[in-house]
Structure 1
């Protein structure tokens, strides 16, 4: 019997707290959690923690600020995004792969599910990701969705799924962000203190499920299919999914 879908509607800080809490103790079995967001918030990569203060973000854009332990650029989470946290024990085969190669299984799960709803996408190989990154606009490299990494999912040259991971002594965390609806790129630029013109460049470099498959696409149906794909790839289709 398949595990029930767990989709929590949370703040950005609640998501990050869950991730930290479950990496602070030994991960003994794979676990999957899906996230939606009550309101927009700015989430910084670990190297950006000192780039901007919570007070500044609130003054500029009226947003809360959170920081993740994974690397990469800034992300504007919000009702348009569906995120996933996947915890793996250190001994799991995907946790033992080199970082650049360890995302492919995750990107492939997203690609397969997107294909089921008519979205033709591609999982970036390390070689393709390096080429696209060399050709990317350097002015928007401060944003997660302004660049490309192995395993991420694109439609043509437009990003649809961003990925990151955290490796700790007690387990490995993979995180994914699917652009289901249209992101407010103008709000992201305002929050991070970037020129307004960069919003259009971010919009040009990304896409979303609604634009690719239409407004009638069901996010819950998509996540149910994704959960099945993920568990099948992890080796336990009805696996445990209840770390609180």
Structure 2
């Protein structure tokens, strides 16, 4: 089983979306995954956010993904991941919410092993939170909380989304390795500057959570956890 962090051209966010689309273009026969690092910033919108696409000012590349959820700002501060599962895989058959659990816990585990106090958000814990905490900035992925996403303390450090088709399930996620420049995304999409302030206050990068955080080691740990979970094989690099 092999998977690697690709060195990508064209831009990483474009390559990521192409890979995701290819996984669901035909029946998924075996589990597969990829980890993604991004050299340049890009905004990836959820499939229902064409309104934001129309108002983008062109200063940052903007893409639409197949999965739902809110806007994501990718860049060097983020580690992305994609997991493709056959529709009858045990990890895909647990239902919409439960199928996230293993992945959120895997992301939390990789962060914990690097010294970050990270926990996957159980549904019952999420339900007990005030509504304004669950949806601080409704249009941004990192502006809200969903079951099994990952918190470091009380701030969001990793988000999740998924696409389910008759012949496969695609799970995607992003881990904040460093602080995200939320103002860049808000300005590019014509959104309120106050939203950037809220996002900065409610999210955290691993490098903020602990000193001397090793992003490469975190990616390697997450790769190992995914490879072990998805045995016997992942897609070739």
1:225 aligns with one of 192, 199, 221: 221
2:234 aligns with one of 234, 240, 244: 240
Give the secondary structure class of the aligned counterpart of 1:223.
helix
For residues 240 and 52 of structure 1, the distance between their equivalents in structure 2, rounded to whole angstroms, comes to 33
Q: Counterpart in 2 of 1:142?
A: 139
> CA offset at residue 39 of structure 1?
1.1
Q: Counterpart in 2 of 1:155?
A: 152
Q: Counterpart in 2 of 1:35?
A: 36
Size of the aligned set, in residue pairs, is: 235
Q: Counterpart in 2 of 1:195?
A: 192
For residues 93 and 138 of structure 2, the distance between their equivalents in structure 1, rounded to whole angstroms, comes to 28
Give the secondary structure class of the aligned counterpart of 1:52.
helix
| TM-score normalised by L of structure 1 | 0.89
> CA offset at residue 3 of structure 1?
2.7
Residues 132 and 148, structure 1, Cα contact 8 Å, conserved in 2? no
1:101 and 2:101 are equivalent in the alignment: no
Give the secondary structure class of the aligned counterpart of 1:172.
strand
Q: Counterpart in 1 of 2:49?
A: 48
- Note closer, same or farther for the CA distance 1:137–1:241 as it changes in structure 2 (3 Å cut): closer
**Is there any run of 5+ residues in structure 1 with no aligned partner, and where?**
none
Q: Counterpart in 1 of 2:2?
A: 3
What is the RMSD of the two structures over their aligned residues, measured on CA atoms? Answer: 1.8
The aligned runs of 1:12-161 (5 Å cut-off) are 12-53=13-54, 56-59=55-58, 62-132=59-129, 134-136=131-133, 138=135, 140-161=137-158
1:173 and 2:174 are equivalent in the alignment: no
- Note closer, same or farther for the CA distance 1:104–1:96 as it changes in structure 2 (3 Å cut): same
- Note closer, same or farther for the CA distance 1:94–1:184 as it changes in structure 2 (3 Å cut): same
For residues 50 and 7 of structure 2, the distance between their equivalents in structure 1, rounded to whole angstroms, comes to 25
Give the secondary structure class of the aligned counterpart of 1:140.
coil
> CA offset at residue 169 of structure 1?
1.8
For residues 133 and 149 of structure 1, the distance between their equivalents in structure 2, rounded to whole angstroms, comes to 13
**Is there any run of 5+ residues in structure 2 with no aligned partner, and where?**
none
| TM-score normalised by L of structure 2 | 0.92
> CA offset at residue 107 of structure 1?
0.9
